[in-house]
């Protein structure tokens, strides 16, 4: 199994991905003012910035912690999936 107890560890504080609170707050405010989430909100520059930052954090985790014996094709597919999911 890919995710076993001994393979999942949170990064140390000095190595953890960071996100400026203002980036998240801008999107939370956008959703709140609209009265809820709508998929078209991902076109807003603030939302796109949050999605790009989130994708970068996921890609960092994939690139750093995916076992080296994973075929390049699988690694590429995982990276592309996060690209498409977070850059709608």
Q: Where are the domains of the chain?
A: 21-86
pLDDT higher than 50, residue 72: yes
Instruction: Say what the pLDDT of residue 38 is.
Output: 93
Mean pLDDT of the chain, nearest integer? 79
Distance CA 54, CA 37 (A): 18
Q: Using an 8 Å Cβ cutoff, are 55 and 83 in contact?
A: yes
pTM of the prediction? 0.58
- The predicted structure's pLDDT at residue 85: 61
Q: Is the pLDDT of residue 20 over 60?
A: yes
């Amino acid at each position: 199994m890919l995710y076993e107890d001994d393979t999942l560890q949170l990064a140390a504080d000095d190595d953890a991905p960071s996100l400026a609170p203002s980036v998240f707050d801008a999107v939370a405010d956008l959703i709140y003012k609209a009265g809820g989430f709508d998929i078209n909100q991902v076109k807003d520059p603030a939302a796109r910035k949050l999605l790009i930052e989130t994708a970068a954090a996921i890609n960092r985790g994939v690139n750093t912690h995916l076992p080296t014996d994973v075929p390049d094709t699988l690694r590429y597919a995982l990276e592309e999936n996060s690209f498409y999911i977070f850059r709608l």
